[in-house]
Structure 1
Amino acid sequence: MKIAFYGSSLTSAYWNGAATYYRGMIRALAALGHQVTFYEPDVYDRQKNRDIDPPDWARVVVYDGTVAALRQAAAEAVHADVVVKASGVGFEDDLLLAEVMAAARPQALRIFWDVDAPATLAELRAAPDHPLRRALPALDMVLTYGGGDPVVSAYRALGARACIPIYNALDPETHHPVAPDLRFACDLGFLGNRLPDREARVETFFLEPAARLADQRFMIGGSGWGDKMMSANVRDIGHVPTRDHNAFNVTPKAVLNISRASMAETGFSPATRVFEAAGAGACLITDHWEGIPLFLEPGPEVLVARDGQDVAEILAGLTKDRAKAIGQAALTRVLRDHTYADRAARLDGILKDAGTLKRRAGEQAA
């Protein structure tokens, strides 16, 4: 199938947490024979901070951050069998949705792909006349990268015909064990941008344990933390490019996953960082959220903390041998059950079934 995918960015992970997800899914879909064109706007300095070149497994179209360029890019949806508008594109999202779906051929599948369902659903509930909410009944389906039954039920209640989670996963070609790198040597590392929906949880799960464990070394990576008050044993290294994620994950004794508040409350929403860390064979400590055992088994494959005290106690008692065993078990699990090849195979079947049903419906109507 020819897929026109309108998202935030495929070529840059700069202020773009969905990049790893997009890359893994689209590369795996391409391996199944789908032809994907990814349309991304030139906004937020992402093109100045590219971390991959346009890949050979997708055609990338970068359009200027203007309404005229948006409309020109949206018009190309007419050539696709599947038209995808993702959440959080970052420039005129409502207009882009309208233009893309208007351009799509009648027989094409129309999909909204939500990479931040808790935030999107909160926005829709607060605005009964929201353009996306009005558009939902006309779309063939909503895909989400997490959320489970609560998100599925919420979208169906708002008028979506179908809502299907396609969870984050591992791309073993890009995230895998590497040699440790002394730049990232520490006892606990955390990688995540400073966001309002995450900052209080970073204080609880990372900064407070660091202040308690003065004899341990902590490292925080990601954009926006430069002026944050931290104890002397925390090193802020700023933005970490994708090419360094494997080394960042494998070098510390353990790495920490901290969900944004809305993701933790919704549950069944593992961040890409969970699979990146597991794919590198890292020992992962994660904050608690509903649905963890669906992805990794607490104890043997991942350590779970309900608050900062738990993090401090886990880290204080964690030996290097146990950390290594947990990381190896996590790697084995994600390679077995949670690769993007697995996710793409499932989505491939969903798209083919939906396409067949839509063609038959069109033939009957004619």
Structure 2
Amino acid sequence: MSRALDIVVLGLSLSSSWGNGHATTFRGLLRALHAMGHRVLFLERDVPWYANHRDLAEPDFCDLRYYDGQRGLLDAYSDVLRDADAVIVGSYVPDGVEIIDAVAALSPRRFCFYDIDTPVTLAKLERGDEEYLARRQVSLFDTYFSFTGGPTLDRLEKVFGARHAAALYCSVDADRYSPTGEALQWDLGYLGTYSPDRQPTLERLLIGPARRLPDMRFVVAGPQYPSDIDWPANVERVDHLPPADHPSFYSRQRFTLNVTRADMIAAGWSPSVRLFEAAACNSPIISDYWDGLDELFPDGEAILIANTTEDVVHALTSTDEEKRSAIARSARSRVLDGHTGQARAQELLGHLGTRDNPDRSLGYTISETIIEQQV
């Protein structure tokens, strides 16, 4: 790399992981960019629901600033946005349509979108819902980074007009997610904010098995679950679990459950950050199925696929310790080899360095980026 880059990220939240998975995704990516010598400014809309639940108010790997609406953003940061080597806007940014138009008008050197909700975004655009991104804006970005890979990338370019769509999956910070060595406390656990379209699967793959296996222990961690859910007596509830406690949580589970939102199942190739975090902590995963999952974690080798309550009951009662440990080791190896924050940062930098207009060159190519970051 010829020089350190100045990158500005406008994202949903970095300071608070409450009720969203964006924070942990951004944290791993930005920590890696910082370790590589790049400078990142993260701009976050100051909203009360995150202000009241901040678990990383002063990160040591980037400059985190808060703004109050579009006018406040432009008054304070127009010059910074215009002069940065790259500006990246994330999905679900409040008033995202107006923010994107305002930033585009500044003609930043490199303008990108990081969609951490791609299947949800495209479903919204198809029904005319432009909550944080307008369909006409997809073509504004030099690169449309997508949480989802596979056929969705072609769809972004051919149907929605993206100039260049590239997969940028979630990742795990391997320095912070590893086995803690604690004793096992639960037979099966799940970490995730309540979502109506995930709840039937959670009922089928965790609550159902809990009722069938009253002598086993289960746990569900995450906020916003309705008070009328009938939790079995052997299911422990944790309302919110900050990221610092995730490794301990995963390490104390004999198996962890992954449940995927309906839009992401339909799109495929949409790995949740919990897959990478749990695997890094050596917790074997039971998951619902979607296209592309077996390319990341082969069934029976690095993960167990479950479609029914009976599948989970069988996994919990019939998987011996040798098999359980082998699945966990295989998944962890795959994650550490290609799904860390450093791996994602290298991918991001590679794309930033290969599709520039002549007057917008950042001064390096993808091969130079990867080679020099590995030295």
Answering whether residue 26 of structure 2 is matched by residue 22 of structure 1, we say yes
CA distance in 2, matches of 1:339, 1:119: 24
AA matched with 1:101: A
Residue 138 to residue 226, structure 1, CA distance change in 2 (3 Å): closer
Deviations 1:31-79 (A, max 9, x none): 2332111001122521222222422221111123x44324435624112
SS in 1 for 2:253: coil
Identity of aligned residues (%): 34
Aligned CA RMSD, in angstroms, stands at: 2.1
SS in 2 for 1:15: coil
1:146–1:166 CA contact under 8 A, matched in 2: yes
Residue 113 of structure 2: aligned partner:
112
AA matched with 2:246: H
Answering whether residue 64 of structure 2 is matched by residue 60 of structure 1, we say yes
CA distance in 2, matches of 1:73, 1:310: 55
CA distance in 2, matches of 1:312, 1:7: 40
Residue 102 to residue 212, structure 1, CA distance change in 2 (3 Å): same
2:146 paired residue among 130, 144, 147 = 144
Task: Please state how far the C-alpha of 1:341 moved relative to its aligned partner.
Answer: 1.3
Give the stretch that moved more between structures: 211-220 or 74-83.
74-83
CA distance in 1, matches of 2:166, 2:120: 17
SS in 2 for 1:39: strand
CA distance in 2, matches of 1:264, 1:12: 26
Residue 92 of structure 1: aligned partner:
95
CA distance in 2, matches of 1:233, 1:99: 52
CA distance in 2, matches of 1:155, 1:181: 48
AA matched with 2:168: I
Residue 49 of structure 2: aligned partner:
45
Residue 276 to residue 129, structure 1, CA distance change in 2 (3 Å): closer
Residue 348 of structure 2: aligned partner:
347
CA distance in 1, matches of 2:37, 2:341: 15
SS in 2 for 1:285: strand
AA matched with 1:276: E
Residue 6 of structure 1: aligned partner:
10
Deviations 1:306-349 (A, max 9, x none): 23321122112123343223212221221122222122112212
In structure 2, stretches of 5+ residues that fail to align are 362-375
CA distance in 2, matches of 1:57, 1:250: 26
SS in 2 for 1:62: strand
Deviations 1:55-108 (A, max 9, x none): 2221111123x443244356241121111111112x212111111222233xx1
CA distance in 2, matches of 1:224, 1:129: 24
CA distance in 2, matches of 1:156, 1:341: 30
CA distance in 1, matches of 2:347, 2:255: 32
Answering whether residue 206 of structure 2 is matched by residue 206 of structure 1, we say yes
Deviations 1:285-324 (A, max 9, x none): 1111111122222212111112332112211212334322
CA distance in 1, matches of 2:86, 2:269: 26
Normalising by structure 1, we get a TM-score of: 0.90
Answering whether residue 128 of structure 2 is matched by residue 127 of structure 1, we say yes
Residue 222 of structure 2: aligned partner:
222
Residue 358 to residue 126, structure 1, CA distance change in 2 (3 Å): farther
Map 1:117-196 to 2 at 5 A.
117-127=118-128, 132-180=134-182, 185-196=185-196
Residue 72 of structure 2: aligned partner:
69
CA distance in 1, matches of 2:35, 2:323: 37
AA matched with 2:31: R
1:264–1:288 CA contact under 8 A, matched in 2: yes
Task: Please state how far the C-alpha of 1:247 moved relative to its aligned partner.
Answer: 0.8
SS in 1 for 2:197: coil
Number of residue-to-residue matches in the alignment: 354
Task: Please state how far the C-alpha of 1:109 moved relative to its aligned partner.
Answer: 1.0
AA matched with 1:290: D
Residue 363 of structure 1: aligned partner:
none
CA distance in 2, matches of 1:190, 1:162: 35
In structure 1, stretches of 5+ residues that fail to align are 361-366
Residue 181 to residue 6, structure 1, CA distance change in 2 (3 Å): farther
Residue 197 of structure 1: aligned partner:
197
1:146–1:168 CA contact under 8 A, matched in 2: no
Answering whether residue 23 of structure 2 is matched by residue 32 of structure 1, we say no
Residue 82 of structure 1: aligned partner:
86
Residue 324 of structure 2: aligned partner:
323
SS in 1 for 2:233: coil
Deviations 1:251-276 (A, max 9, x none): 11111011111111211111000000
Residue 305 to residue 235, structure 1, CA distance change in 2 (3 Å): same
